[in-house]
Structure 1
Amino acid sequence: MTISSATFIARLPAGVTFDDDVQEYLASIVDGGSFTSSDDLREETEHFLIDAGLEDTAALDAFYTSLGDQFLSTDTAKTDSPSETLVKIDSALNKLALNQDNNNSTNQEERGGTSSSEGGKPDAAPEIKSSKPKPVKLSKAAKKLAAKSSRSSSGTPPSAASSGAGGATPIIGKDAFLGDGAIIEAYSQQSRFYEETLETLSKEVDLKQVNITIGDQPLLKDTRLWFKSGTMYGLVGRNGTGKSTLLRAIGYGQLIGFPLNLRTLYIEQLPSETPENQTVVETVLKADTERTLLMGESHLLQQALHKYPTQLVKSIKKLEWERMKVKLAAQQKLAIRRSGKRGADARDELLVAEAEEKAAAEAFEAVPIEGVEPSLDVISQAHEMLESVYTKLQQIEADSAEARARELLRGLGFTAANQDLPIKQFSGGWKMRIALAQALFLKPDLLLLDEPTNHLDLPAIIWLQKYLLENLDEDQTIVVVSHDRNFLNAVSQEIIRLRDHKLDYFPGNYDEYEMKMEDKAKMKDRIASALEKKRKHAQDTINKQRAIMHKTGDEKRGAVIASRQKKLERLAGHNKTESGHRLKQSYIAGYHLNMGISVEKEAPEPPVTIPLPMPKELRGNPTTLLSLNNVTYTYPGAPARKSGPVIQNVSLSLHNSSRIALLGPNGCGKSTLMSLLAGDAIPTSGTVEKFSSLVRIGYFSQHNVDKLDGYSTKSAMQYLMDTFPDDYKTQPMARKYLGSFGVAGQVAVLPMSTLSGGQKARVALAICVHGGPQVLLLDEITNHLDMATIEGLIVALKEFSGAVVLVSHDAYFIKAVCEDSDEDAFSDEDEDDLLKAQEEVGVVYRVKGGKLTRLEGGVDQYVKTVVAENKKGMRGGGGRPV
C-alpha cells in the first residue's frame, strides 16, 4: 500500500511545522505521488523538511525509516480466540463505565436527575460547559462535599479572559470559579425557599439582583439577567467590563439561582483530554454524550446477544449498575442544594438511591467473569432493553447524526477529506471551529457564543449567521459576544449592554441600539432644557412677587410666593416616565423626597483614538509607491503544483491614499500576497518594485502578534526600547509612545505573554507604524479589538495619507475604510481628477485561484457571491491542517 499525507504529517518530528499553503502542497505531493518505497518519497519531499529546520541527516534518516512499514502489505487479519473475546467484552464494559463516570455530572445537571435510559438529550464534552447552580446555603458537611465535587471537576486548564485596554485583568478560567482557590462569586436574589433546584417547563431566564465579583472588584451589581426563550441577544460593552466572565459564570454553572432545566453550552475550546488521533467528525459526534452512550449500550447488548451469549447476564447487570450510578449522582446534587423540608426529603431519597446503587453493584460482582448461560427471561429482558435503546436513538435522530455533523463542518470550512483527519493536525483556530460545530450539533436550550467570528473567515461568518437565522429551534436562546458589527446586526434581535455594573436591554440589532441611545440622549437634553426653562420662570415669578411684597408691604403676596415655591419643588424632577405615562407617587421609591424623576444624562463613553504617525514625505511626490508586476509565486524548490501556483500573474499598484482590500477564504493566498508586498517573500517570476529605498512599509500580521507570546519576561516597554534603541533611550519615552496606543500603566511593564489578545494587537500596531511608513499592510488587524477600538482605527486609517492594504473578515471594517469615500472632497475637481481619485481609493479584490478579481460592487458583491456558492455546494478554500 502507499502512504497517505495524514500519516506522513502525523509522524513528523516535533517542532517541524509548515505554513498552510506549504502543507497543502506537500499533502498533494504525498497523496498523488503513488510512491512504492520510502526512498522515492524522500527524494520528492526531503527539501520541505530541510526548509522547515530539520537539517540533521540522522534525524531525516530516522524519520523516513519509520515510514517503511507503510509500504508493506497489511492483510494479516485473524480471528479472535475465545479468551481474547472475554477480555474484549469486559474491556468494553469498563470503557462504557468510564465514559459514563466522566459524563454523569454533565448529563444529570441537564436532565435534572433522569438517567440516560429515561430520555433527555445531554450536554457536550467537558469543555462545552453545562449549567449547574452552586448551593445557596450549605451545612458544613454539604460544603465539604461541594468542595470535593468542585475539585474533582476542575481539571481544565484556565483560559485567558478579555481584559480592558487600560489595565490587566486576571486570567479567568474554570479554576477561578471552582474549588478552594475560587476568586469569583456569582449569585442572584435568593432565600431558603427559592426554588432554584426545581425544574419547570419554561425556558426563560429572569433573575433579579444578579451580582458577580472578582475578589473585591464588582463586575455586576444588583442587576437583572433576563433571557426570553427563542431570542438572539448581542451582549456588548467595552473590553474588561465582564462580558466573558458573565458567560463563563453561566456556562460553568456557578451563577446561583440559574435554572437547572436549561441545557446550556458555553463554547471555550476543545478539552485538553480529547484524543488527538480522533477525527474531526468523530469529535463532533462524541460531543453528544447521550448518543455516544446509547450507541455503546446498543453495541454491547448486540454483541452479547448474538456473539457472546455467556456474557449477556454480566452485560445487563453492568448497564443496570451504571444507570443506577447516574441516578445516584443526580440525587447527591439535589441533596446538597436543597434545604428545609425539600432538603430533608431529598436526603431520604438519597439514602434509597445509595442502597439501590449498592445492590446493583453487588449483583454485577456476583456474576462470574467467565459468564453464565442466560435464561429465557434474561434474553427477553435484553431484547426489551435493546428495543428501548433503539427507540431513544430514533428519537434523537441518531441515524442522521453523522450527515448533520458533516454538513456543519462543511459550512465552517472543513473539506470532506479533512473532516476525517485527526484533530492533532489542526491549529488552535480550526479547533475552535470544531468546538463551534459541537455546540451547533447539540442544539442546546441556551447557547453562549464568546467571539465566535474571531477564528472564522468571511465565508464561514456568512454561513454561521445564515445558519443561526434559519436552523435554530423556536425556543432556542442565543447570547453572542462579538465585535463584528455586521454579524451582530444580522443575528441580534435584542442588545444587552453591560456598563457601570448594570445590564440594560434594547430591542433591535446593534445599529438600532445606537440610534435609540442617540435619540434617548437627545430626549433627555430636551427634557432637561424644558425643566430648566420652567424652573427659571417659576424662580423669576417668586423673585418678582417677593420684591413687590417688600416694596408695598402686601402680605397677601406671601401666599402667591408659597404657591410658586411648591410648584418649583415639583419641577425638581420630570413628571413622566420614559414610556410617556404620567408619574404616580407609587411608581418610584423616594418620590416624596425629590418630587419627580431626576433627569440624569448618561456620560458618553470616551472614543478611542489611534495615533497613526504621518508618513514621511518623499522627494518627487511619486504617484506609485509600490507595485507588483506580473508576479507569480510557487514555493521554492517545488515542482508545479496540480492547482497552479499560489499567486499567478498578479499586477497591483499602490498609490498615495490607496485603500485596497483583499477578500477570500483562509488559505487562498491573501497572506502570501501581503508577504510579497512586504518583501518577506521573493516572487518566482515577475517583479516587486518600490519607488525608492526610502519607501517604508509597516506590516501587521497575526504572526507578529503571536510572536509576542514568546516573551515570558520582557515587557512591551523593554521590547520597544530594544527594537528602536535610538528613538527610545529612556523608559518614559517608550511608555509615552505605547500609552498613545492604549498600552498604558502597568500593562506596559507586564510580561507580554500575560497580555490579552487586544493588548498584544495594540503593541504590534505601535511597532508596525513606528517611523511613519508610507505603506501600511494590515493582515487581520481587527481580531481581539473591541468595537470602540475598531471605530478609532477606522477614523485613523481614513485620515492616513499613505497607502493601506487590508486583509480582513470584518465586512463593516472593510466597507468603512475602503468604500465610504467623501465625495464632497472632489466637488471642485474636474471629472478626470474624480475618476483618478476613485481608481486610487476604495478597491476591493477577491483572491481566488491565485488571481485577483476586482469587485465593482465591493463587499456586498462578495457576500452575494459567497451565499450563492454555498447554496450550490461550492464552498471551498478552507479546513487545511497546519
Structure 2
Amino acid sequence: MVNAKKLEKAEARLKAKQDKRMERDSLKSSGPLVLEEASASQAASKKETRMESSGKNKSYDVRIENFDVSFGERVLLTGADLNLAFGRRYGLVGRNGLGKTTLLKMIASQSLRIPSHISILHVEQEVAGDETPALHSVLECDTTRESLLQEERELTARVNAGRGEGTEGARLSEIYAKLEEIEADKAPARASVILAGLGFNAKMQQQTTKEFSGGWRMRLALARALFARPDLLLLDEPTNMLDVRAILWLENYLQTWQSTILVVSHDRNFLNAVATDIIHLHSQRLDTYRGDFENFMKIKEERLKNQQREYEAQQQYREHIQVFIDRFRYNANRASQVQSKLKLLEKLPELKPVDKESEVIMKFPDGFEKFSPPILQLDEVDFYYDPSHYIFHSLSVSADLESRICVVGENGAGKSTMLKILMGELAPVRGIRHAHRNLKIGYFSQHHVDQLDLNISAVELLAKKFPAAKTSSFHLHNLMLYNLVTENSGQCHLESTTINCPAAPVLIVEDRGGVPASAGELRCLGGAGRAPCCQPVWRSEESSGLCPDDYALGGVILVSHDERFIRLVCQELWVCENATVTRIEGGFDQYRDILKEQFRKEGFL
C-alpha cells in the first residue's frame, strides 16, 4: 500500500523541483544552464606528493586514500579508500545509482590523483564516424608506433629527395631498432585478431568508421583500448554491446591481461571469469574482497550474518543493562553502580543492523486459457529486406505455452527480425506464420527507453498506459512514483511493469544483457496462493533469472547475452546464423564448446 503522507511529501518535492527547473529555463536566454556535475575531493599525502614531484614513484599500483565523491548535492562516497594492485583485475559492483560509473569518470579525468606515469584509458564513448578504416582506427591507438612510422616516412622522403643532412641514416637506424623492440610489424595482425574476436570480419575491418552503427562503434572503442594496453583499463558494462560469442572471446582475452583492470559489470559469469578481486560500493564506502564474484557473495553473506549476530547480542546486552538502570535509578545505595552502568552504555560502540535491500514483488497472471497447438509457428519462411541478401531462408520454428526458448547468435544475424516475424510486425516474403487467433504477446524491447515519455513522472506514465490499474499495483518505490522517468535508474522497471499488466500467454524479452540491474532481488509470484518462485525475475549484481515455473501456462522467448540468465530460464537454445535457426540439443554448454572450437580454429585463443 502507498503511504499517503510520504507521497504528499514526494509530490511537494517534485513541485519544488519543477519550479526550480522552470526558473532555470526562464534564465536560459541570459546565460547557460548550470547542470549538476560530479566532483571529487581527496586528502593530500605529503609523502606521495614528494615522491611524485621528485620522480621517484615508479610503482604502477594505484592508491587513492580518504577521498569523497559527490554528484550535485548528493554524496556518493565519503572517506573512501581504493587500492588497485598492478596486474590484478577488479570488478566494481553495487546497486544502481550509487556512483559506480561516476567513480570511473573521476578516475579517468584524474579528479582523483593518480601518478602521472600511469596511463589510464576509460572505454566510455563510441568512436567518431569518419573516413578512417576500422583496422587503421585501432592501429592509431599505439601513438608510439604511429609517431615512429611517421618520422621514418619523413626521413626516408627527405633522403630520397636529396635533402638529407647526413644524420638521417643514424636516426633511421634508431627508429628501426625501436620499431623492432615494440614489435611494430606484428601490430596489424594483433589489431585484426582483437577486431575479429569482437565480431568484425575481414570486410568490416576495412570499412570506414562512419559506416558502423553506434553499437559497433562502441565495439571499436573497446578494441582500441585493448590494443593500446594502458596501465589502468576502465570498463563500464563492456558486455552490454556484445553478443555471446564476443563476450566469451573477451573473457578469455582479459584473463591474460598483464596490467590493471577496473570493470563495472552486472554480468555474474563475466565477473567470475575475469575478476581476481571484487570491490563492493555500498553505504558511501568501498569494501574489497579477494576472489571472483561467487566468493564475494559467500564472504559477504557470512559478514552480514556475523554483523546481525553482533548487533542482536549487543542489543540484548544493552537491554540487560537498561533493566538494571531502570530498576535502581532512584535507589541511593545503588547510585554509583547505576552511574557506572550509564557510562558503560555510553562507551559501547554503536552497531547498526543489517541494511536489507528492499524486495520488489512482480506478479504474473496465475494462468491463461489453454490453447490447442500450434500456438505460434513459422513454416518454411523466407525473408529479406533486399532480394540480394536473404535474412532467413526456409525458416521453421515453433513455440507453445510451455516453451522456455533462448535465441542467441552474433549481432546482425537476424534475431530481432525473427522476433518481429513471430509477433506479426513483419510479413514473410514466402512461407507461413501461424498464430492462435486468441494469442496475445507481451514484448520487452532492448530499446525500451525509446518507448517511454521521459518528461513525465512514473505514476503519470503508468496511469496513461493503464488507466484502470491502481498505482499500488505497480510495485515501484514510493519516491520513484513521482520522479520524472528520466531521473529513475529503474527505467526498465517501468517497462517491465507494462509487460505484466495485460495478460499475455507468450512473453518475448529482447536483449536482457543491456538492461540496467534492479536495486535488489526481484521475485515474481505465479498467482494467488502460490509460493514465491525459486529464482528472482530480473537480475541484480547478486542474482539473475526468471524461474521457468513462474510464468504459469505461458511461453517465454528470450534473446539474451547473459549466460547465467540463459541457464536459469531456458530449456531450449536456438542459434541464429547462416540465414536460419538451429536448435542446440546440448543447450548452452554445447554452444559454448562450439564457440571455443571456432576460436581455436581461427587462432583467436
Which bracket does the TM-score occupy, shorter chain normalised?
A: 0.7 to 0.9
Match of 1:254 among 111, 117, 134: 111
Q: Distance in 1 between matches of 2:36 and 2:555?
A: 50
Letter in 1 for 2:148: L
Match of 1:392 among 159, 174, 178: 178
Q: Distance in 2 between matches of 1:240 and 1:443?
A: 29
Match of 1:594 among 341, 344, 347: 347
1:520 is aligned to: 303
Q: Distance in 2 between matches of 1:537 and 1:238?
A: 37
**For the Cα contact (< 8 Å) 1:782–1:790, is it kept in 2?**
no
**For the Cα contact (< 8 Å) 2:69–2:77, is it kept in 1?**
yes
2:247 is aligned to: 461
| Structure 1 counterpart SS, 2:514 | coil
Match of 2:359 among 607, 614, 627: 607
Q: Is residue 26 of structure 2 the alignment partner of residue 240 of structure 1? A: no
1:772 is aligned to: 503
**For the Cα contact (< 8 Å) 2:391–2:413, is it kept in 1?**
no
Letter in 1 for 2:427: I
1:662 is aligned to: 407
| Structure 2 counterpart SS, 1:665 | coil
Match of 1:695 among 431, 439, 444: 439
Match of 1:418 among 204, 209, 212: 204
2:289 is aligned to: 506
2:424 is aligned to: 679
Q: Distance in 1 between matches of 2:442 and 2:556?
A: 10
Matching of residues 567-586 of structure 1 within 5 Å: none
Give the drift of 1:781: 3.0
1:121 is aligned to: none
Q: Distance in 1 between matches of 2:490 and 2:316?
A: 47
**C-alpha RMSD of the superposition:** 3.6
1:278 is aligned to: 132
Structure 1, residues 558-609: CA drift from partner, whole Å, max 9, x if none?
Answer: 79x95x9969976x6xxxxxxxxxxxxxxxxxxxx625x5443331222344
More strand by share: 2
Letter in 2 for 1:676: I
1:203–1:845: structure 2 CA closer, same or farther, 3 Å change rule? same
Letter in 1 for 2:383: T
Q: Distance in 1 between matches of 2:125 and 2:462?
A: 32
1:388–1:715: structure 2 CA closer, same or farther, 3 Å change rule? farther
| Structure 2 counterpart SS, 1:295 | helix
Aligned residues: 550
Letter in 2 for 1:266: H
Give the drift of 1:393: 2.0
Match of 1:808 among 560, 569, 590: 560
Q: Is residue 514 of structure 2 the alignment partner of residue 783 of structure 1? A: yes
The answer to which structure, 1 or 2, has the higher relative contact order (CA under 8 A, 6+ apart) is 2
1:744 is aligned to: 480
| Structure 2 counterpart SS, 1:432 | helix
Match of 1:650 among 386, 389, 396: 396
1:266 is aligned to: 122
**For the Cα contact (< 8 Å) 1:458–1:809, is it kept in 2?**
yes
Letter in 1 for 2:303: K
Matching of residues 815-854 of structure 1 within 5 Å: 815-818=567-570, 842-854=571-583
Q: Distance in 2 between matches of 1:843 and 1:215?
A: 47
1:309 is aligned to: 162
Q: Distance in 2 between matches of 1:768 and 1:543?
A: 57
1:210 is aligned to: 67
Q: Distance in 1 between matches of 2:461 and 2:212?
A: 31
Q: Is residue 284 of structure 2 the alignment partner of residue 491 of structure 1? A: no
- How many percent identity over aligned positions? 32
Q: Distance in 1 between matches of 2:203 and 2:520?
A: 39
Q: Distance in 2 between matches of 1:712 and 1:543?
A: 56
Q: Distance in 2 between matches of 1:664 and 1:290?
A: 37
Give the drift of 1:810: 0.4
Structure 1, residues 9-38: CA drift from partner, whole Å, max 9, x if none?
Answer: xxxxxxxxxxxxxxxxxxxxxxxxxxxxxx
Q: Distance in 1 between matches of 2:190 and 2:357?
A: 44
| Structure 2 counterpart SS, 1:795 | coil
1:340 is aligned to: none
Q: Distance in 2 between matches of 1:515 and 1:453?
A: 24
Letter in 1 for 2:203: A
1:715–1:236: structure 2 CA closer, same or farther, 3 Å change rule? same
Match of 1:635 among 381, 384, 393: 384
Q: Distance in 1 between matches of 2:201 and 2:280?
A: 38
Q: Is residue 236 of structure 2 the alignment partner of residue 450 of structure 1? A: yes
| Structure 1 counterpart SS, 2:78 | strand
Letter in 1 for 2:394: Q
Q: Distance in 2 between matches of 1:774 and 1:868?
A: 38
Give the drift of 1:469: 0.4
**For the Cα contact (< 8 Å) 2:127–2:221, is it kept in 1?**
no
TM-score, with length taken from structure 1: 0.57
2:587 is aligned to: 858
Q: Distance in 2 between matches of 1:490 and 1:637?
A: 40
**For the Cα contact (< 8 Å) 1:695–1:774, is it kept in 2?**
yes
Q: Distance in 1 between matches of 2:352 and 2:99?
A: 24
Q: Is residue 41 of structure 2 the alignment partner of residue 187 of structure 1? A: yes
**More displaced stretch, 392-401 vs 683-692:** 683-692
1:327 is aligned to: none
Give the drift of 1:382: 2.1
**For the Cα contact (< 8 Å) 1:287–1:442, is it kept in 2?**
yes
| Structure 1 counterpart SS, 2:536 | helix
Letter in 2 for 1:511: E
Matching of residues 45-84 of structure 1 within 5 Å: none
Give the drift of 1:864: 2.0
1:629–1:284: structure 2 CA closer, same or farther, 3 Å change rule? closer
Structure 1 unaligned regions, length at least 5: 1-166, 171-179, 313-377, 573-592, 819-841, 876-882
Structure 2 unaligned regions, length at least 5: 1-16, 22-33, 525-534, 538-545
**More displaced stretch, 530-539 vs 800-809:** 530-539
TM-score, with length taken from structure 2: 0.81
**For the Cα contact (< 8 Å) 2:458–2:482, is it kept in 1?**
no
1:198–1:626: structure 2 CA closer, same or farther, 3 Å change rule? farther
Give the drift of 1:626: 2.1
2:88 is aligned to: 231
Q: Distance in 2 between matches of 1:493 and 1:631?
A: 48
2:3 is aligned to: none
1:701–1:789: structure 2 CA closer, same or farther, 3 Å change rule? farther
More helix by share: 1
Q: Distance in 2 between matches of 1:688 and 1:478?
A: 48
Q: Distance in 1 between matches of 2:117 and 2:416?
A: 46
1:833 is aligned to: none
Give the drift of 1:203: 0.9
1:869 is aligned to: 598
1:128 is aligned to: none
Letter in 1 for 2:121: L
Q: Distance in 2 between matches of 1:741 and 1:775?
A: 28
| Structure 1 counterpart SS, 2:375 | strand
Structure 1, residues 641-690: CA drift from partner, whole Å, max 9, x if none?
Answer: 5xx661534131312x4321112222223222211221112234443222
